[in-house]
Amino acid sequence: MIGRLPRIGDLLKRRKKTAEDGSIVVDAARKATGGKARTRIVMTMAVFFTIYSTIAGRLVYLGLQNPDLSDGPQSRVTASRPDIVDRNGEVLATDIKTASLFAEPRRIVDADEAIEKLSTVLPEIDYEQTYRKLKSGAGFVWLQRQLTPKQQADIMALGVPGLGFRTEKRRFYPSGETSSYVVGLTNIDNQGISGMEKYIDEQGLSDLQASGLAIAKDLKPVRLSIDLRVQHVVRDEIAAGLERYRAMGAGAVVLNIKTGEVMAMASVPDFDPNNPYNAQDKDRLNRMSAGLYEMGSTFKSFTSAMALDSGKATMNSRFDASHPIRVGHQAIHDFHGKNRVLSLPEVFLYSSNIGSAREAELVGIEGHREFLHRLGILDRMQTELPEVARPTEPKVWKQVNSFTIAFGHGVSTTPLQAAVGCAALMQGFLIQPTFLVRSEEEAMAVAKRVVSDKTVEGMRYLYTLNAEKGSARNARAPGYRVGGKTGTAEKVINGRYSKDLNFNTFVAAFPMDDPQFLVFTIADAPHPEKPGMTDVAANNAGVIAGNIIRRSAAMLGVKPDFSHENGATLVSYQ
């Protein structure tokens, strides 16, 4: 039996072999298992690498691409506007860069969350409207135009996907309200919509913008005739007058008689063009060029000039103002009648309605109408400013119309046109006003002779006389030899004359020995400054004119002359 038993050595060899075979199997299994794991790891890594590579590639692509703006307007980065400067180069309007916020609704993940975050920076945002925009699925929508730098930075910090900014140009007006009606406004797309801004567009700028050729460096500044220093004085004085006289409105223009240049023009109430939220309010009207009014006794300047220029009257002519003129059921009275025969200078000095009607009667209806049209008083004024109203007159002039028009009732015109007409009486030539710089030579090339030198001499005399002895005394400025005429008219309200409110005007020229400048002021529905005072033009429009002359004459280059108490020596007429 012992012989049948395997030997221990053999058993040990077999165990060893078995163990070795098992190890080989285990090692093989281990090798097989390890290979498969590595393959899975490699494959998994490859999948993730592919995914992240795709995401990274897409992000790079999107970063290099412009957003889908097919639904949005073309870039306004090149839609520049030229600077507007005053006659001395002071900037009145210029372009500045600003950021505007847009959204790509297709890339907005959560519209509610986006709006909630935006409202923390833009609390005024319209929730419903913005929600509709963000859910529209469009490629491009504007959310807010012309942000401040802080707003842009705060919105960027929100980190909302699908929002972006575009650089645009917007207009900035350093002088604010001071020259708002003259310079005008642009809309959200930097296009001129009023004032000289609109005029510039009409001269071809809008075509350049549309073609993308409005490059800032190629646009020369537009130089206006306005003197910003004088403009500031005018605006300051009429604003003070508006408050002092509790008026509905006030305005003034300073005109260069020799060139027709508007040196300054303002109307209040006005607006800030940098924040024109109230620019469309009913009381925001450029009363000087876009308002139509009956001018009252200021019109007597034209009536007396007409009588003199017709050759039918002289300074020695006399007119019966001893009793009212009756035409049908109407009667023409004097406000402070002298109840006697008046000379032509006395008709002007005492502002006689009856005497002015007699002057018109002397010339005749057709001659009267022709004279006012000759001075451009009843035609639409030709100038650069778009806001110009068309005067009104009766379709058929009857005798009563001529009588009332003689003292400023029955026709309506703009204060600027009345000023231009009065300027023509100071030099003999009608020169249409301009808001651009113009030389005397250029002005005379377009000037039109309207009255004789003899008439000019007579009107200068009457203006000077009225400043020394009449209603223009409140406008006198020591050293500057001022002359002028007042106008107090009952204000027309709903087609009827008011017994309680006036529309007051004042025209002043200086220096009267050779008038260089003319100031025309208005006070719309003023009230007496103090108890016991009246609301006639001498007490408001006249005072405003005098203040403007005193403060601005030196800026206009007029040297004071104190050799005469008020002005030029009165011409003696025989």
SS3 at position 388: coil
What token pair was written down for 93?
Answer: 């309007």
Q: 343 has which bridge partners?
A: 318
Burial environment of residue 281 by CB neighbours within 10 A (0 to 12, 13 to 18, 19 or more): exposed
CB 389 within 8 A of CB 418: no
Q: Rounded to whole angstroms, how far apart are CA atoms 426 and 95?
A: 41
- Cα separation of 227 and 224, whole Å? 8
Question: 256: buried, middle or exposed (CB in 10 Å: 19+, 13-18, 0-12)?
Answer: buried
Contact 76, 190 (CB under 8 A): yes
Cis amide bond preceding 515, omega within 30? no
Selection from 410, 425, 352, 403 nearest residue 378 by Cα: 410
Joined together, the tokens standing for residue 308 give 């003199």
Contact 495, 233 (CB under 8 A): no
| 551 C-beta neighbours (distance < 10 Å), count | 17
- Active site (annotated) includes residue 552: no
- Strand 496-510 relative to strand 517-524: parallel, antiparallel, unpaired? antiparallel
CA distance 162 to 159: 9
Question: Order of strands across the sheet with 249-256?
Answer: 262-268, 249-256, 517-524, 496-510, 483-493
User: Under the phi-then-psi rule, with left for phi > 0, alpha for psi from -120 to 50, and beta for the rest, what region is 532?
Assistant: left
Residue in 323, 326, 255 with CA at minimum distance from that of residue 288? 255
Q: Where are the alpha helices (DSSP H) in 159-297?
A: 180-183, 195-200, 206-211, 228-244
Q: If 0-12 CB within 10 Å is exposed, 13-18 middle and 19+ buried, where does residue 190 land?
A: buried
DSSP run (H or E) holding 223: strand 222-223
CB 134 within 8 A of CB 180: no
Q: Are strands 249-256 and 262-268 parallel, antiparallel or unpaired?
A: antiparallel
Of 100, 289, 297, 304, the active-site residue reads 297
Show contacts of 395-398: CB within 8 Å, 24+ apart. 397/365, 397/366, 397/368, 397/369, 398/365
SS3 for 267? strand
CA distance 105 to 402: 68
Residues designated catalytic: 297
